[in-house]
């Protein structure tokens, strides 16, 4: 066989292979129901962890794509437009500010992101803050806004916990005075305090996480343990330790809550993906029983829209049990819906999903999060309820000195 015949056969094989792949792949249509029997047909529009969860029993339903502007708070959109072009990435670690180095003044810094770090900064400013300044219970962190449901590999619920939380944006504030920054805290981005309320074995545990504008600076994390009756600082290396025995860690809250400087980011795809923007199954306050479908899933069908999205790869700069993360962000509102976490051997380790609702004021509100350890088969379902936005709590509630009093 001469070289021309070899090339002819090779080209024919390539055409046949490509045609077979094109016939196998399916573009999602409104009304499609995706389950374990057909999920591989939609693999172009889902990351590996999302496919794995469907094969575990999750069911997806494709819903109409939301119109532009209907998933964001109108005032937040106006501030984004007013501040367009003013944002700067000040260093290689992702520190955000204005050209003179001063803190960001609000809205999405990069409405059309071109780099991985720009996607992440948009997420940090918009999604983590829920397009506002703070969130928590209207009466403070003594009152629960979240429940954790612990599920073993057999699909049995063996424990539940509740926690209160207050998170405050220190810079980039858009809703309540003082804005755009709280005086004296201009070097910080956020403070988050968490109080565990139920059950007895975690009751009174308090954690405080302080994130800095300088993204090369490690966060300050503290924990108060009632058994020791004192506040202890948590090493950054412990950010991937289990949060109260769950499949979540301090670094996993909201899907990704590390400083940007701990990771390197790269956009590996920008295009159509199936993403969640609206949750239709209401969360259930504790102690009302939670209904789980196929062991781990709080919704009978997870609502998905075919939308422009970024797929971002994150590689850690520090020593951690995580080898990399692959994350899917909506390209309009920069909400993080799916996260695939790999171990240091490159094997899929955990799957995270964060679902959202939209408030009457068009603020995003996190509803359900599913965290499944694909290597052990155990999981945690995280549900938010009674969460208020832009409550303007006192900063003193997030001070280290307040932790002991809060535990009482």
Q: Judging by beta carbons within 10 Å of its beta carbon (0-12, 13-18, 19+), is residue 173 exposed, middle or buried?
A: buried
Whether residue 38 is contained in a domain is answered as no
pLDDT exceeds 90 at position 242:
no
Tokens 């995270």 sit on residue: 352
Confidence of residue 24 (pLDDT cuts 50, 70, 90): low
Rounded Cα distance between 170 and 166, Å, is 13
Confidence of residue 245 (pLDDT cuts 50, 70, 90): confident
Domain residues for the domain of 241 are 74-406
Residues of the chain with pLDDT > 70: what percent?
93
pLDDT exceeds 70 at position 358:
yes
Q: State residue 51's pLDDT score.
A: 98
Whether residue 301 is contained in a domain is answered as yes
Q: Mean pLDDT across the chain, nearest whole number?
A: 91
Q: State residue 178's pLDDT score.
A: 96
Whether residue 67 is contained in a domain is answered as no
Task: Give the mean model confidence (pLDDT) for residues 51-70.
Answer: 97
Whether residue 155 is contained in a domain is answered as yes
Q: State residue 19's pLDDT score.
A: 43
Q: State residue 250's pLDDT score.
A: 72
Whether residue 4 is contained in a domain is answered as no
Q: State residue 228's pLDDT score.
A: 87
In a 13 Å sphere around the CA of 368, the CA atoms on its Cβ side amount to 25
pLDDT exceeds 70 at position 309:
yes
Q: What are phi and psi of 143, to 5 degrees?
A: -115, 135
Please tell me which residue, 112 or 247, carries the higher pLDDT value.
112
**Positive or negative torsion for Cα 354, 134, 212, 146:** negative
pLDDT in tens, 198-237: 998 889 999 999 999 999 998 899 999 998 889 999 876 6
* Residues near 319 by beta carbon (within 8 Å), at least 6 away in sequence: 237
pLDDT exceeds 50 at position 167:
yes
pLDDT exceeds 80 at position 57:
yes
Q: State residue 17's pLDDT score.
A: 45
Per the structure, the count of domains in the chain is 1
Whether residue 63 is contained in a domain is answered as no
pLDDT exceeds 90 at position 128:
no
Residue 255: CATH number of its domain: 2.50.20.10
Please tell me which residue, 140 or 3, carries the higher pLDDT value.
140
Whether residue 311 is contained in a domain is answered as yes
- The DSSP bridge pattern shows strands 302-316 and 60-62 to be parallel
Residues of the chain with pLDDT > 90: what percent?
78
Task: Give the mean model confidence (pLDDT) for residues 288-294.
Answer: 94
Rounded Cα distance between 3 and 61, Å, is 50
Confidence of residue 251 (pLDDT cuts 50, 70, 90): confident
Rounded Cα distance between 403 and 193, Å, is 9
Whether residue 21 is contained in a domain is answered as no
Task: Give the mean model confidence (pLDDT) for residues 16-41.
Answer: 79
Task: Give the mean model confidence (pLDDT) for residues 128-156.
Answer: 94
Cα 219–chain centre separation: 18
Task: Give the mean model confidence (pLDDT) for residues 355-379.
Answer: 93
């Amino acid at each position: 066989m001469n070289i021309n015949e070899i090339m002819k056969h090779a080209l024919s094989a390539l055409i046949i292979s490509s045609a077979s792949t094109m016939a196998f792949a399916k573009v999602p249509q409104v009304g499609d129901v995706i389950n374990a029997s057909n999920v591989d047909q939609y693999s172009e529009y889902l990351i590996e962890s999302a496919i794995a969860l469907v094969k575990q029993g999750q069911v997806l339903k494709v819903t109409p794509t939301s119109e532009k502007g209907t998933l964001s708070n109108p005032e937040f959109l106006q501030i984004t437009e007013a501040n367009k072009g003013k944002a700067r990435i000040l260093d290689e670690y992702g520190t955000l500010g204005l050209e003179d180095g001063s803190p960001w003044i609000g809205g999405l810094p990069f409405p059309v992101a071109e780099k991985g770090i720009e996607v992440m900064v948009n997420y940090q400013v918009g999604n983590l803050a829920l397009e506002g300044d703070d969130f928590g219970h209207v009466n403070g962190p003594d009152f629960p806004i979240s429940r954790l449901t612990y599920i073993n590999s057999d699909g049995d619920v063996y424990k539940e916990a509740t926690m209160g939380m207050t998170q405050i944006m220190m810079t980039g504030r858009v809703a309540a005075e003082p804005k755009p920054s709280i005086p004296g805290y201009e070097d910080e981005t956020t403070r988050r305090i968490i109080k565990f309320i139920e059950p007895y074995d975690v009751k009174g545990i308090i954690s405080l996480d302080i994130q800095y504008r300088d993204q090369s600076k490690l966060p300050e994390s503290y924990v108060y343990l009632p058994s020791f009756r004192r506040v202890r600082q948590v090493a950054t290396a412990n950010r991937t330790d289990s949060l109260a025995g769950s499949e979540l860690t301090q670094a996993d809250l909201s899907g990704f809550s590390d400083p940007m400087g701990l990771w390197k980011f790269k956009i590996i795809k920008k295009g159509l993906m199936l993403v969640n923007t609206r949750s239709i199954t209401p969360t259930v306050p504790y102690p009302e029983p939670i209904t789980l479908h196929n062991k781990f899933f709080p919704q009978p069908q997870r609502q998905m829209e075919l939308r422009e999205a970024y797929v971002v790869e994150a590689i850690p700069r520090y020593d951690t049990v995580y080898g990399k993360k692959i994350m899917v962000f909506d390209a309009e509102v920069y909400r993080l819906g799916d996260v695939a976490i790999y171990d240091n051997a490159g094997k899929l380790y955990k799957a995270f999903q964060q679902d959202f609702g939209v408030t009457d004021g068009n603020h995003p509100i996190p509803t359900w999060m599913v965290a499944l350890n694909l290597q052990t088969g155990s999981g945690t379902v995280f549900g938010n309820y009674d969460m208020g936005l832009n409550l303007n709590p006192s900063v003193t509630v997030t001070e280290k000195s307040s932790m002991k009093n809060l535990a009482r």
